[in-house]
Amino acid sequence: MKILYNVTVIVDDTVVEDWKQWMVKDHIPKVMETGAFETYQLQKVLTEGSEGGTTFAVQYLAHNREAFEKYQMQNAPKLQKEHQDRYNGKFGAFRTIMEVLSAG
């Protein structure tokens, strides 16, 4: 079974351009290098929320549940700490893990 790992991040507008570049050039490549995921997408959310800032969704498609769980245990803490250290106080994030039932 495929697992879709969605990370929704609300980024303070004062760092949004730096955040986007860092995600594409540094963070996402490191996540993909773990081998847990087949593909990813970085998306800007167009609906406005009441939180302020700019909202993005980063979606990673895991090979299977085992690959995702291995990533969570072995890689996620370090990568999330790098993000936290770089943008401390300038973002909010939540994660959603979904089972893919059907894809086109």
Residue 21 belongs to some domain of the structure = yes
Number of domains in the chain: 1
Assign residue 32 a region: left if phi > 0, alpha if psi is -120 to 50, beta otherwise?
alpha
Q: How large is the C-alpha radius of gyration of the chain?
A: 14
Residue 43 belongs to some domain of the structure = yes
Residue 68 belongs to some domain of the structure = yes
Residue 42 belongs to some domain of the structure = yes
Tokens describing residue 77: 């803490």
Mean pLDDT across 68-91: 97
Residue 93 belongs to some domain of the structure = yes
**Residue-wise pLDDT tens digits, 27-62:** 999 999 999 999 999 999 998 766 689 999 999 999
Q: What domain range is 77 assigned to?
A: 3-99
CATH assignment of the domain containing 22: 3.30.70.100
Residue 104 belongs to some domain of the structure = no
Residue 46 belongs to some domain of the structure = yes
